Each structure stands twice: as C-alpha cells, then as structure tokens.
Amino acid sequence: MERDARAFWIRSPGKGEIRDVALPEPGPGEVLVRTVCSGVSRGTESLVFNGNVPPNQHAIMRAPFQDGAFPGPVKYGYLNVGVVEHGPPDLLGRTVFCLYPHQTRYVVPASAVTPVPAEVPPGRAILAGPVETAVNALWDAAPLVGDRIAVVGAGMIGCSVAGVLAGFPGCDVRLVDTDPSRAEVARALGVGFASPEDAEGGCDMVFHASATEAGLARSLELLAPEGEVVELSWYGDRRISVPLGEFFHSRRLTIRGSQVGTVSPARRSRRTFADRVALALRLLANPAFDTLVTGETPFGDLPRVMPRLASGELPALCRRITY
C-alpha cells in the first residue's frame, strides 16, 4: 500500500504550496482513498485563501478534515472524489465522494465517504457539495408548485440552486446575474435568465447568492408582498448594509439565513448529513450540471492557479483539479 501523499496548503494569506504527507495505516472501519479529482469552491475557498475568515468564525468555518488553522498555514477544501484502495469489501474499488481537501491520497473513516452512483461521472460528482447546499436551502424555503422564483447570483451555489429548482413542477425560475454570459448556463440548466435591471418582480421567493450588497438589495425589491429572501451568501469579514426601509415593512418581507453546517430544521429529525449528500449525488445524474464545471487544472499547478481564482483574474464556477 502506498503511504506517501501530497497536499495543497495555504501557507499564509495569498500564498499556496504543495507539501508531502505521510499517511497513517488505515485502521478498522477506515478507508484509504486515491483522489481522482477535486473541486475548488471558488467563493468560500477564495475567502479562506485571502485570509478573510473573521476570527469569530474560525471554529464554525472549519472544514471536516481541515489541518492547521486560519488564516494559515491551513489545508482547506471539501470537494473530493476518489477511489477506495483499501477498506471494507463493500467499498473497495468504488468511486466515492468525501468532504476532503486537495490531496492525492488520504485515510478517513468509512462513514465519511459516500459512494457515487454509476450514472454520475467522477468529474461531475465534485459538485455534490454545492448541490448539497442547494438541497438544504430548498428544505429551508419549501417552494410550492407554481411559485415564481428568482436566484440572484449565478455563481456555483446560485447555479446549483437553479439546477435543482428546474425540476419543480410549474415553477417559473429565473437566474439573475450581471454577467450576460451566464445566460448560456441558465439555458443549459433549463431556467430563465435576466440581468438585475430587467428581472421581473412579484416573486414568491428569492435565493440570494451573489455575496454583494447590491444583490441583496435587488433580491428584496423582486419580492411580492410577504415574500422571502433565502440568504446563501457568505461575506467573510465584510460588513454590508441591508435596506430595511422602503418596502421591507409594508410588504412584510422576510430574510432567512441558510447554511449547510446543519441539516435544515424541516428535515433534521428524519434526514442525516449522509442522506443529504446521497440525495445530492442522485440529483447529479442530470448532465445539465456539467455546465457548472468551468475548466481544469492539474494538481501540481494549484499553487500557481489558486491566486488567479481568488482574485477573479481566472473566472470560474467550479474549477476541477485533476490528479
């Protein structure tokens, strides 16, 4: 069994490097996984890479298998797909998803991996993380048949939400973004598209995922009376203003926070984290989600490419890392 591995570390804000890792011997109930591909969750990982995680969020923002601490050195990431090389017979040789950072091989409890369905390619399965976030958001919001829904912010999370909503009967779903090229992504997902200026109001609910002050303000403007904004953005250490004047009170509007660290209260008594990941992977049987993977980078080039992703110089929804 090969015991050597390499991992991507953030040495300090804005600086990345690859380090050698000596793997432990897998114990009972553990698996050794060889990574096939991983994904850069550009929004969150950019905040981590640039050192923008607020001190009071250091514990909350820890990834499940993070090493080190914010702002660095830290090994961070959570979109990993690999093949089990050592472990229980029912997992041996299977392709699995794990909330693990960018590393060539790793040892984790068998309970930490979820088998990828045969109909989902490994390169698409890295999207289980954002689609899981979308599942939790929809459990929080509980859209109804025929709802008018806007998703403001066509990044990885917003597009994942729109992709899941595309299958809701009778719903009019619009992806809203300042980048007109995102219209092609919306078309592939089977939803409408509009610029913030042209987006139609009267929405029953709006999912906000642009991580901008202007996006949140526009989300509130798009709501019908007694409508709800489901806030999915992570702002890091930035403070933003929320327009609670204007129509906020007269229309009795609501802003609801949603995050993936806990299972939505609507399903918490009946669904586990593992159930949620398994559902996300089943939803990824839809090939339309391939449009969310924008570009590939070999693992060895990650220290050079990550600063470009974090600065926005290299645009991406989800960047796939190949091994």
Q: Write out the DSSP string of 251-281.
A: TT-EEEE--TTS--TTTTTT--HHHHHHHHH
The pLDDT value given to residue 218: 97
Closest CA to 76 of 96, 101, 44, 108: 101
Among 3.40.50.300, 3.40.5.10, 3.90.180.10, 1.10.3720.10, name the CATH number for the domain at 4-127+284-322: 3.90.180.10
The pLDDT value given to residue 105: 98
Instruction: Walk along the chain (323 residues) and give the pLDDT tens digit of each residue.
Output: 678 999 999 999 999 999 999 999 999 999 999 999 999 988 889 999 999 998 998 998 899 999 999 999 999 999 999 999 999 999 999 999 999 999 999 999 999 999 999 999 999 999 999 999 999 999 999 999 999 999 999 999 999 999 999 989 999 999 999 999 999 999 999 999 999 999 999 999 999 999 999 999 999 999 999 999 999 998 877 888 999 988 899 999 999 999 888 899 999 999 999 999 999 999 999 999 999 999 999 999 999 999 999 998 998 889 999 99
Q: How far is it, in rounded angstroms, from Cα 114 to Cα 277?
A: 7
The pLDDT value given to residue 185: 96
* CATH tag, 130-257: 3.40.50.720
Task: Tell me how far CA of residue 61 lies from CA of 48, 53, 124, 141, 214, in angstroms.
Answer: 9, 8, 25, 23, 25
The pLDDT value given to residue 1: 66
The residues spanned by each domain of the chain are 4-127+284-322, 130-257
The pLDDT value given to residue 236: 73
The pLDDT value given to residue 230: 97
The pLDDT value given to residue 237: 76
